[in-house]
Structure 1
Amino acid sequence: MPGFRRGTAGVVSRLAMLAGLSVLAATPAMTETTRDRASLNLYGSPGLIDMPTAEVLPDATIAGTFAYMGGSTRTTLYFQIMPRLSGSFRYSSIPNFDTQLSDETRYDRSFDLRYQILTEGRYRPSLVLGLQDFIGTGLYSGEYLVATKTLAPGLKVTGGLGWGRLAGTNKLGNGFGSRPEEFLAEGGVPSYDRFFRGDISGFAGLSYAPNDQWNFKVEYSSDSYDPEQDRGVYDAKSELNFGLDYRFKNGAQMSLYHVLGSEVGASFTFVTNPKTQGIPGGIETAGLPVQVRAPGAARDLGWTTDPNTSASARKSLGELAAKDGIVVESLRLEQDRATVRILNPRFGAPAQAIGRVARAMTRSLPASVETFEVIPVVNGMPMSAVVMRRSDLEALEHEAAAEMLARTSIVDAYGRTPAPDAGIYPKFTWSIAPYGQLSVFDPDNPVRIDAGIRAAGKVEITPNVILSGSVTKKLAGNLDEITRADESKLPRVRTDRARFSKEGDPAIEYLTLAMYGRPAKDVYSRLTLGYLEPMYGGASAEVLWKPVGSRFALGAEVNYVQRRAYDQLFEFQSMTTVDPETGIERDIPNVNGHVSAYYAFGNGFHGQIDAGRFLAGDYGATVTVDREFANGWKVGAYATFTNASFEDFGEGSFDKGLRFTIPLASFLGTPSRDRNDIVIQSLTRDGGARLDVNGRLYEQVRDYHRPDAAKSWGRFWR
């Protein structure tokens, strides 16, 4: 939940979105620098001014647009999901506009989908089918079929047909039946009853870019802005709109517009593309070169009679690995085989850590050792055993990394991992840093934030038994001012958030004892006890089945929870909640949990289903689809459907959202396993709410298994 995700910020609305986008803009986004590249319109999608075009951005492009027109704002996040399919999430504000009170600002969320039916050819135009604001209240609801053709370098012509918002002027006819005029009451529900229904209008436009920087645009718009005119927001005097873009070398765009013959508009767009950024790193020092053995040295076993050789090799390997930030916890040395147990706190690309350890082994181990077995360990759990031949390292150092991958085995490390050396544990680490918790989409105040100081600590009692905690002190904020009436008819498992914020100062975010294990081959386990998150304490147990070479995994989690006191210190409170509006009491069940299935489809797409019982006692499933990149970037969406009706859930109808993972190494230029997880969630509600416990297994385990390790194998020799 936004505000309860440690290290996670939900970023959507104007101020929050711009902060994220300014980070994205720090890196070059598009390799395309010609004047023919697509521009984005006031809706933050490929288009002219208000009207869409059939242009498509490069695959995996992320674009963020902040647009202003006549007092209204539109903040849009656009993602090119696949080469032909794109989606947009938009958050808009319109002053003096409300369905009942005309002097109130209306805040509106909307989603778009676009699909390119035809790509542009020598004589054939590009053809795109689009659904605009097809989920929710439908304020900007409209569908379109649009074609765009490049006539000459920099010169493009566009024409299309529009329904809904895009059929307000000079109507050409009627679509497939009548179109409902009223707004839908249920957010997040596709407005399928409107698709391609009602009047049809035509729109057209022309753009000309004389060079890479400037682009001039004119369009004949079919959107008459009737809802806004009816409420006195705009006074439309013309169907002709005019625009001017200035495009920066990194792909960013600044635009000015004259719209409706009466309004002035402007927009600014940042773009980035995780697909073309490469795997983070490059500023770090180079790894050690492979030390090639002298001819015949591999047959010398004299070292096996020297009791000091193993200790000397262990010391040398540990020192060489430490220069790369890798921790060697133990080394088992045999006459022709060495098994090393490592921790990788530095490299986000697992293959880079493996490659550096392997090269260090060639420089520190006796010449007779031919087989290297590297076992990365996370929270005491051996993830996999990466097995290589020393002679392959010697022969292939200057070849493509794929050649080395073809000769490397990645197998389960269960039962073959040496214990850590004596004296390494216990370990203690701590940190003090600022924190921020955001709440978004409250119609009374779209952005609320708490900010303060967080102190965190961790004691690794043994490799797999970890005591950890976090304490926050709020310095400023307004999350405790959320006073909007609650429409949920479920137990208040999350909607007491304002009171937790108000009374929890200082607050113990979590204080847990976690135990991790490998109970069997291909099986991983976790048991977490204590104050699990800001609102709940208790016990959480999880087991995961994940073969090391498989794209598929299964997991199960069961939780026994007790509601924490509002001050978020050491006490608990009743599991019976009271609706402040109606006085109705509802009980929160103590037990919840899920079974989960995970699958990597290939081409970077990953799916996850979590089915079971949620905190409020509702039963259902969360479906998540992510597009993942080898450099650690992820872009995804999720939706949760339970047996709680839309009416019982309240505003928003069901839980859904977008999520992004941005590796900090992309901006640092040096290796790092740190990342920023951003969740754009519709609202904090009770339905579909899940316990927010640390240390879930799947993301820890998959990094070092073959499907994921292979994605970053290009950095094995780096």
Structure 2
Amino acid sequence: MAVVVGIAPLSFVLAQGRPSVSYNQYGVPGLIDMPTAQSAPDAELATTLSYFAGTTRATMSFQITPRLSGSFRYGRMDRYYNTGGAIFDRSFDLRYRLIDEGRYRPAVAIGLQDFIGTGLYSGEYVVATKTLSPRLTVTGGIGWGRLGTYGGFSNPLGALHSGFKTRPGGFSGPGGQVEYGRWFRGDAALFGGLSFQATDRLTLKAEYSSDAYSLETTPGRDLFNRRSPINLGASYTVAPGANIQLSFMHGDTIGLGVNLTTNPKNAAVKGGSEEAPIPVKVRDRTSAQALGWTTDDALKAQLRDGIAQILAQSGIEVEAVRLTGREAVVYIRNERYLARAEAIGRTARILTQATPSSIDSFRIVPMVNGMPSAAVVIRRDDLEQLEHHPDGAKLMFARAQVSDQRRGPAQEDLLDDQFPRSSWSLGPFVKASYFDPDQPVRIDLGVRANAEYVIRPGLILSGQIDQRLVGNRDSSTRVTPSGLTRVRSDAGQYAKADTALTKLTLASYFRPGENLYGRVTAGYLEPMYAGVSGEILWKPVDSRLALGLEVNAVQQRAFNQGFGLRSYQTVTGHASAYYDFGNGFHGQLDAGRYLAGDWGTTVSVDREFANGWKVGAYATMTNVPASSFGEGSFDKGIRISVPLSHFLGKPTTKVYDAKIQSLSRDGGARVKVDNRLYQNVRDYHRPDLEKSWGRFWR
């Protein structure tokens, strides 16, 4: 059973503008059941729910690059067994557009359908699509596997190697493995169709299907009577980003599909409701303010308080200020702007208004959990010259200096009443568990209380309590078999707690050296584990590469999530490498020991957007054999981070994080610890600041 906090909001959010492609019953760009060679707009994220003849499919697709897309699908087939039971299936697809459409040539794409899964929908294809007129497109392709079961013929690839002539039967291990030994093997079949844009909202489709639906029409299941390979359908755009599709399938049954799309590149709310930034004040070098203030302690105190008050009005807290004759050093805590460059830009603008004319440069030091993450030095002359320049953001980034800042503020520079300080919040929560065959979706709703007490810079006591009000996550009676210590597969037992202390920790954050960051966290780290977690990170401010090391000594918590502990104890740890590949792609490699005592590696790849969206996938392979891991063979999943500012139209640092795992099992499991270093400190380093620097003047 996979447990994920929250429900992915993508199904309820509509994109802006009419989609340029139509999605088929499998949730990929296509006609009705068959694929096309078309690609969705770069970065489009689509959710599709389709049903026909006892088959339900829910698919999430993401256009990873302009040519490459990936999909995760969860399906249910009724009467899979002769006894009338149903089967639930998880599968992954990949497709790549090999050739772009030209004046005379069609677009050509190659696809792998259900290449990781049980193989229920396993198939491969090569497909071509050509636009004959602005409203008419035609598609033709060749399919293998499931897409080669109707009108099949001897595999043409058999001429290259005899191994392509037959397709192996059965599946290795408990499923979930990459079955590359089946790809493009066995009989092949042709498919095709056309699509006609009748109106701006209505698209008509017809296709010849190469899927015989042998499994669904086997005597004893008889989900429908396949009378014809011809499918007819109509797709209608209900609203921007929302489509419904009605189809007549195989001469026997009606199919229905609903598709919702959004694109992280395009804000759901146009414009923004945040207040306009304070304009740059051009200084008068002859004013009396430029003279004598450096020796007036009372005036300096007024200046420091004034800077803090004005910045607080913009949602930027000031921890310390140091004013010298030519430089203002400001230590800030950004609690409003997810685009970190916007916080830097607004701070710099305010400093032109609030500091004496004699000050030539501003050193802005963002503080993260009490640590200085970097220092951004901006010359006042550059602000005055470039505020209205057409290339002002680009030129400002070239002139700004981003450097390491190891030491925090001196005691005499701290503003009054900064430490200790406390904060708390109370609000709703949603927790969901997915993919239980007895009930694929279970949901809890409740109230969550958070509290934080900052004792001194970098020393933070925090806690979280959840109170469930209504839900059914506690009703699961399914016991997931495991060949390992039950480090995660008892999630259903933890879900039975109505009142849960989900976190209570004391954390220390510090800078042990140049380009080095450290963290030690102790207490009840997460709902299932308590203990001590230590981490050190090497990350130069101008480097795309970072290296980290983490060690955790933990013990299982009691199922009721109170203060009790269970007997299982273990030590885990990982060495990590992080790399920013550019163009929004980010990779992470973790190698080490996991909670069940298994050793292995986790590979993660994310696409990150300047506005805060992140969409990625990960896979963990350890020395645990597939037979011991259980169904799914190895840990893998999709993760999405959605900035709430995308939909609210106003700045906030709050994000919604969702992780969708095909299965949550005991192999490859890691401790969940808040505020791991890398994701927090890199935001203010040069490579990441550059991504959001376009908002410097906002």
Rounded Cα–Cα distance in structure 2 between residues aligned with 1:259 and 1:82: 32
Rounded Cα–Cα distance in structure 2 between residues aligned with 1:525 and 1:488: 36
Query: Structure 1 residue 411 and structure 2 residue 403: aligned?
Result: yes
Query: Structure 1 residue 204 and structure 2 residue 192: aligned?
Result: yes
Residues 106-505 of structure 1: matches in 2 within 5 Å? 106-174=87-155, 175=157, 176-230=164-218, 231-248=221-238, 250-277=240-267, 282-297=272-287, 300-399=290-389, 400-415=392-407, 417-419=409-411, 420-502=414-496, 504-505=497-498
Q: Structure 1 residues 279 and 377, CA, compared in 2 at 3 Å: closer, same or farther?
A: farther
Rounded Cα–Cα distance in structure 2 between residues aligned with 1:649 and 1:280: 47
Deviation at 1:299, TM superposition (A): 10
Deviation at 1:182, TM superposition (A): 2.9
Given that 2:493 and 2:559 are in contact with CA atoms closer than 8 Å, whether structure 1 keeps it comes out as yes
Read off the aligned partner of 1:117 and give its amino acid letter.
L
Q: Structure 1 residues 343 and 226, CA, compared in 2 at 3 Å: closer, same or farther?
A: same
Give 1:529's aligned residue. Answer: 522
Deviation at 1:183, TM superposition (A): 4.6
Deviation at 1:140, TM superposition (A): 0.8
Give 2:49's aligned residue. Answer: 66
Given that 2:289 and 2:356 are in contact with CA atoms closer than 8 Å, whether structure 1 keeps it comes out as no
Provide Cα deviations, 1:610-657, integer angstroms capped at 9, x if missing partner.
Answer: 111111100111110000000000000000111111111111111110
Q: Structure 1 residues 166 and 536, CA, compared in 2 at 3 Å: closer, same or farther?
A: same
* Structure 1, 473-482 or 344-353: larger mean CA deviation: 473-482
Query: Structure 1 residue 561 and structure 2 residue 554: aligned?
Result: yes
Deviation at 1:233, TM superposition (A): 1.4
Q: Structure 1 residues 199 and 496, CA, compared in 2 at 3 Å: closer, same or farther?
A: same
Query: Structure 1 residue 621 and structure 2 residue 601: aligned?
Result: yes
Given that 1:53 and 1:148 are in contact with CA atoms closer than 8 Å, whether structure 2 keeps it comes out as yes
Residues 89-104 of structure 1: matches in 2 within 5 Å? 89-98=72-81, 101-104=82-85
Rounded Cα–Cα distance in structure 2 between residues aligned with 1:571 and 1:202: 62
* Structure 1, 207-216 or 624-633: larger mean CA deviation: 207-216
Read off the aligned partner of 1:354 and give its amino acid letter.
I
The alignment yields a C-alpha RMSD, in angstroms, of 1.8
SS in 1 for 2:567: coil
Structure 1, gaps ≥5 residues long = 12-16, 576-588
Given that 2:176 and 2:631 are in contact with CA atoms closer than 8 Å, whether structure 1 keeps it comes out as no
Deviation at 1:558, TM superposition (A): 0.6
SS in 2 for 1:44: coil
Given that 1:66 and 1:73 are in contact with CA atoms closer than 8 Å, whether structure 2 keeps it comes out as yes
* Structure 1, 623-632 or 442-451: larger mean CA deviation: 442-451
Read off the aligned partner of 1:393 and give its amino acid letter.
L
With the length of structure 2 as denominator, give the TM-score of the two structures.
0.95
Deviation at 1:102, TM superposition (A): 4.0
Given that 1:2 and 1:679 are in contact with CA atoms closer than 8 Å, whether structure 2 keeps it comes out as no
Rounded Cα–Cα distance in structure 2 between residues aligned with 1:496 and 1:290: 57
Read off the aligned partner of 1:709 and give its amino acid letter.
L
Given that 1:280 and 1:670 are in contact with CA atoms closer than 8 Å, whether structure 2 keeps it comes out as no
Query: Structure 1 residue 538 and structure 2 residue 541: aligned?
Result: no
Deviation at 1:278, TM superposition (A): 9.4
Rounded Cα–Cα distance in structure 1 between residues aligned with 2:408 and 2:368: 15
Deviation at 1:259, TM superposition (A): 0.3
Q: Structure 1 residues 278 and 418, CA, compared in 2 at 3 Å: closer, same or farther?
A: farther
Q: Structure 1 residues 295 and 432, CA, compared in 2 at 3 Å: closer, same or farther?
A: closer
Provide Cα deviations, 1:191-213, integer angstroms capped at 9, x if missing partner.
Answer: 21211111111111011103321
Identical residues among aligned pairs (%): 52
Deviation at 1:172, TM superposition (A): 3.2
Provide Cα deviations, 1:223-276, integer angstroms capped at 9, x if missing partner.
Answer: 110011012112100111001011245232211100010010111111111124
SS in 2 for 1:21: helix
Give 1:579's aligned residue. Answer: none
Rounded Cα–Cα distance in structure 1 between residues aligned with 2:109 and 2:37: 5
Rounded Cα–Cα distance in structure 2 between residues aligned with 1:394 and 1:298: 20
SS in 1 for 2:638: strand
Give 1:44's aligned residue. Answer: 27
Rounded Cα–Cα distance in structure 2 between residues aligned with 1:393 and 1:122: 49
Q: Structure 1 residues 405 and 542, CA, compared in 2 at 3 Å: closer, same or farther?
A: same
Rounded Cα–Cα distance in structure 2 between residues aligned with 1:249 and 1:126: 28
Rounded Cα–Cα distance in structure 2 between residues aligned with 1:52 and 1:221: 10
Deviation at 1:423, TM superposition (A): 2.0
Deviation at 1:184, TM superposition (A): 4.9
Query: Structure 1 residue 699 and structure 2 residue 679: aligned?
Result: yes
Provide Cα deviations, 1:131-156, integer angstroms capped at 9, x if missing partner.
Answer: 11111211111111111111111101
Give 1:581's aligned residue. Answer: none
Deviation at 1:280, TM superposition (A): 8.8
Given that 1:167 and 1:199 are in contact with CA atoms closer than 8 Å, whether structure 2 keeps it comes out as yes
Rounded Cα–Cα distance in structure 1 between residues aligned with 2:592 and 2:176: 22
Read off the aligned partner of 1:70 and give its amino acid letter.
A
Rounded Cα–Cα distance in structure 2 between residues aligned with 1:54 and 1:707: 35
Read off the aligned partner of 1:57 and give its amino acid letter.
A
Q: Structure 1 residues 297 and 389, CA, compared in 2 at 3 Å: closer, same or farther?
A: farther
Deviation at 1:45, TM superposition (A): 0.7
Given that 1:279 and 1:712 are in contact with CA atoms closer than 8 Å, whether structure 2 keeps it comes out as no
Deviation at 1:463, TM superposition (A): 2.3
Provide Cα deviations, 1:353-394, integer angstroms capped at 9, x if missing partner.
Answer: 111111111111110000110001011000111001101111
* Structure 1, 51-60 or 410-419: larger mean CA deviation: 410-419
Rounded Cα–Cα distance in structure 2 between residues aligned with 1:54 and 1:223: 18
Deviation at 1:422, TM superposition (A): 3.5
Query: Structure 1 residue 509 and structure 2 residue 495: aligned?
Result: no
Provide Cα deviations, 1:156-213, integer angstroms capped at 9, x if missing partner.
Answer: 1111111111112222322522112335553321121211111111111011103321
Rounded Cα–Cα distance in structure 1 between residues aligned with 2:648 and 2:197: 35
Read off the aligned partner of 1:143 and give its amino acid letter.
E
Rounded Cα–Cα distance in structure 1 between residues aligned with 2:290 and 2:426: 52
Read off the aligned partner of 1:107 and give its amino acid letter.
F
Report how many residues are paired: 685
Given that 2:93 and 2:113 are in contact with CA atoms closer than 8 Å, whether structure 1 keeps it comes out as yes
Read off the aligned partner of 2:400 and give its amino acid letter.
T
SS in 2 for 1:172: coil
SS in 2 for 1:712: helix
Q: Structure 1 residues 436 and 520, CA, compared in 2 at 3 Å: closer, same or farther?
A: same
Read off the aligned partner of 1:265 and give its amino acid letter.
G
Rounded Cα–Cα distance in structure 2 between residues aligned with 1:669 and 1:248: 24
* Structure 1, 450-459 or 369-378: larger mean CA deviation: 450-459
* Structure 1, 55-64 or 410-419: larger mean CA deviation: 410-419
Deviation at 1:539, TM superposition (A): 0.7
SS in 2 for 1:590: strand
Read off the aligned partner of 1:570 and give its amino acid letter.
F
Rounded Cα–Cα distance in structure 2 between residues aligned with 1:281 and 1:655: 40
SS in 1 for 2:153: strand
Structure 2, gaps ≥5 residues long = 158-163
Rounded Cα–Cα distance in structure 1 between residues aligned with 2:616 and 2:368: 25
Given that 2:592 and 2:599 are in contact with CA atoms closer than 8 Å, whether structure 1 keeps it comes out as yes
Given that 1:139 and 1:183 are in contact with CA atoms closer than 8 Å, whether structure 2 keeps it comes out as no
Rounded Cα–Cα distance in structure 1 between residues aligned with 2:235 and 2:468: 43
Rounded Cα–Cα distance in structure 2 between residues aligned with 1:46 and 1:39: 6
Q: Structure 1 residues 426 and 695, CA, compared in 2 at 3 Å: closer, same or farther?
A: same
Given that 2:574 and 2:591 are in contact with CA atoms closer than 8 Å, whether structure 1 keeps it comes out as yes
Deviation at 1:297, TM superposition (A): 4.9
Deviation at 1:486, TM superposition (A): 2.9
